Amino acid sequence: MKVERIKIDSEFIRLQDLLKLSGVCATGGMAKVVIQNGEVLVNGEVCTMRGKKMRAGDRARFDNTEIEVE
């Protein structure tokens, strides 16, 4: 499994934007679809909220890639 670490300078980043920023989704539209289809895990649980606020220490997993927010 590939692990990406994304450092943020703000309090949070929305899940949809995190998937785009990390490169696991090419577009926001693709991110929206995979999230709504239940293909993304946040901290080990399926998450269908594309606006989910991801804070430092949170993890998202999609398509054999884990993204850690720092």
pLDDT digits (tens, 9 = 90+) for 12-40: 999 999 999 999 999 999 999 999 999 99
Residue 1 has pLDDT above 90, yes or no: no
Q: From residue 64, give the alpha-carbon distance in Å to each of 7, 24, 67.
A: 20, 10, 10
Going by C-beta distance under 8 Å and a sequence separation of 6 or more, which residues neighbour residue 44?
59
Supply the pTM of this predicted model: 0.93
Average pLDDT of the chain, as a whole number? 96
Mean pLDDT of the region 34-53 = 97
Split at pLDDT 50, 70, 90, the class of 58 is: very high
Residues 10, 27: Cα–Cα separation, whole Å: 22
